Amino acid sequence: MPPTLFETSVPIWRVFALLGSTLGIAVGSALLAMAIGVSMGLLLYLSGRKATSLWIGALVLPLIWPPFQTAIGWMVLQGESGITLFQKDSFDSWVLSILFSPLGVILVHSVSFWPIPALLSWWGFLKLDREMVDQLRVEGVSIIQSSLFLCRLNLVPISVSILLVVIFSLGDIGAAELLQVNTFPVLLYTELNLIRTLGPVIRMSAPLLVFMAVGIAIWTSLRNRIRIETETFEPLAAQDRWISPAYSRWLLSLLVLVGPGTVLATESVQIVRDLSTIHLPLLTECLSASIWTGIGAVLLGALFLQCGLLASGNRSVAWTIDCVSFLLFAIPAPVLALGLLRMFSSMGRTALPLLDSFWILSLACTIRFYWVAWSLVQSGQDRIPQSLEDRMKTEGLSAWQRTRHIFNPLLRPQIMAGLTLVWALSLGEVTLTRILQPPGVQTLAARTVNFMHWGHDGMVAAGLVTVALLEFLPLLVYIGWKSVWGRTQ
């Protein structure tokens, strides 16, 4: 009988083999996403693009699109979906053979996560002296040599983006499960369904948790060296631009078309084709669960952000919040879900109302994605002038006064952007929902994955398009409000 690992049925050699292959997939995804994202950041910088809300929103669009949705879109594009694909022993084309392999997972993750290095590298490039770039042009340095030189100067933001993509890739289960690639998070989720015991699962994931601890140390040290600021140079005239702005538009359009565009194109057609298979009452029930889960996550996220701002005056407390929130975001979702179940189950009957409602899902999503929103708020705090901070200390403002009268007005865009990301990521979360779902409560994203396994292609299409519209709802409301407000002004 092979040796087992801490009371589980998984051999030790398999755990470490899967952990190694999963780290390989994560690093490969990070490197490919870095190549794509940094190229986009360079194009935006060299073409003189300014960091407007429109361009930032366009870059964030693929990031809030769950990787499993991109995987489904690519599967449907190849004419394969549902239960018929999972019953096959071999694939009909080399494209499907690549897609259903570790390389396919790397491609899906890269298409989903490239905006992270794109945004961080772009903001890093905007901090560089514009005259230095003009001097390189005067000296006849090629674009390739100049790009490599700029990337070397911008190494810290690029390194941060690589670390973040690795963390995102390590935490994803949906894409690997759909593409039939056995990764370490998939193994954790499978073993969790078999034993439902927190201790063995945590001990089995101990090597990954050690890696996450190292990631926290790297993240905190790198973050102290990067301060995202707005650009100071004037927009370039058309004849002075090194690269035409059209190139950045073409590349962005191509990447959005390959990612979210594929799903919308293939699944929108599938909805019209398979209207008879769409079960509207079931979708409505899941839609209600998704909306309430998202609303609860936003409310809890807003409360947690206010608590973080109140405590941000103490540097040690702020550093602790940053590290703990990063750890909760980075640890595998099955471990987080089972830990919450264990904690609330130990409370007895007092926790039953929470476990039997959507609030348990909202709390889990808030805990998992709080770090994303908190990072945006911290980036806004980095831009607050030091003179204003010194004046707050001189006047002796309390933590509540600083938060209410200074931080909330100045950081309102970052707070709203962070809560919007919490909303979108909560709607697309699958793993936490499938573990923590109360009786009769299942979000639309989790149900859509089940539809995929059962072969209900029409309901898969309806679910994906509905989730996408829900994720973009705050952005659509904001655009509408801005247009109406602009006319009234």
Statement to judge: residues 242 and 297 lie in one domain: no
Statement to judge: residues 229 and 312 lie in one domain: no
Cα gap 74→258, rounded to integer Å: 9
State the pLDDT at residue 57. 66
Q: Which residues have a Cβ under 8 Å from the Cβ of 247 and sit 6 or more positions away? A: 43, 47
- Say how many C-beta atoms besides its own lie within 10 A of residue 123's C-beta: 23
Q: Which residues have a Cβ under 8 Å from the Cβ of 269 and sit 6 or more positions away? A: none
**Closest C-alpha among 30, 40, 36, 41 to residue 154:** 41
Cα gap 447→263, rounded to integer Å: 17
473 with 419: CB under 8 angstroms?
no
Statement to judge: residues 182 and 204 lie in one domain: yes
* Structural domain for 27, as ranges: 1-267
Statement to judge: residues 148 and 290 lie in one domain: no
Looking at 223, 242, 267, the residue that finishes a domain is 267
State the pLDDT at residue 389. 72
Statement to judge: residues 89 and 198 lie in one domain: yes
**CATH number for 399:** 1.10.3720.10
Q: Supply the DSSP string of 165-228, one letter for each residue.
A: HHHHHHH--HHHHHTT---HHHHHHHHHHHH--HHHHHHHTHHHHHHHHHHHHHHHHHHTT---
Statement to judge: residues 109 and 236 lie in one domain: yes
State the pLDDT at residue 326. 83
State the pLDDT at residue 106. 92
379 phi and psi, to 5 degrees?
-65, -35
Statement to judge: residues 262 and 343 lie in one domain: no
Cα gap 323→99, rounded to integer Å: 35
Looking at 236, 267, 298, the residue that finishes a domain is 267
Give one word for 385, left, alpha or beta, with left for phi > 0 and alpha for psi -120 to 50.
Answer: beta
How does pLDDT run along the chain (489 residues), one tens digit per residue? Answer: 444 444 555 667 677 777 788 889 999 999 999 999 898 888 888 877 776 666 666 777 777 777 877 887 777 777 665 545 555 556 667 777 888 889 989 999 998 888 888 888 887 887 777 777 777 777 777 778 888 888 888 888 888 888 888 888 887 877 887 788 888 777 777 766 666 566 666 666 666 777 777 776 776 676 666 554 444 445 555 545 555 566 666 667 777 666 666 666 666 666 656 655 666 677 788 888 888 889 999 999 999 999 988 888 777 888 888 888 888 887 777 778 878 887 887 777 777 777 777 788 889 999 989 988 888 788 777 777 777 777 777 777 788 888 888 888 888 878 887 888 888 888 888 778 777 877 767 788 888 777 776 666 667 777 777 887 787 777 777 666 766 665 555
Q: How many domains does the chain have?
A: 2
Cα gap 113→66, rounded to integer Å: 10
Statement to judge: residues 199 and 248 lie in one domain: yes
Statement to judge: residues 253 and 175 lie in one domain: yes
Measure the CA angle with vertex 125, ends 385 and 371; round to 5°.
60
CB-count exposure of residue 471 (10 Å: 0-12, 13-18, 19+)? buried
Q: Which residues have a Cβ under 8 Å from the Cβ of 464 and sit 6 or more positions away? A: 69, 72, 73, 263, 267, 448
Cα gap 234→130, rounded to integer Å: 9
Looking at 243, 267, 291, the residue that finishes a domain is 267
Statement to judge: residues 170 and 238 lie in one domain: yes
What pTM was estimated for this model as a whole? 0.74
163 with 212: CB under 8 angstroms?
no
Statement to judge: residues 163 and 231 lie in one domain: yes
Q: What is the largest CA-CA distance in the chain?
A: 76
State the pLDDT at residue 366. 93
Statement to judge: residues 217 and 300 lie in one domain: no
State the pLDDT at residue 103. 92
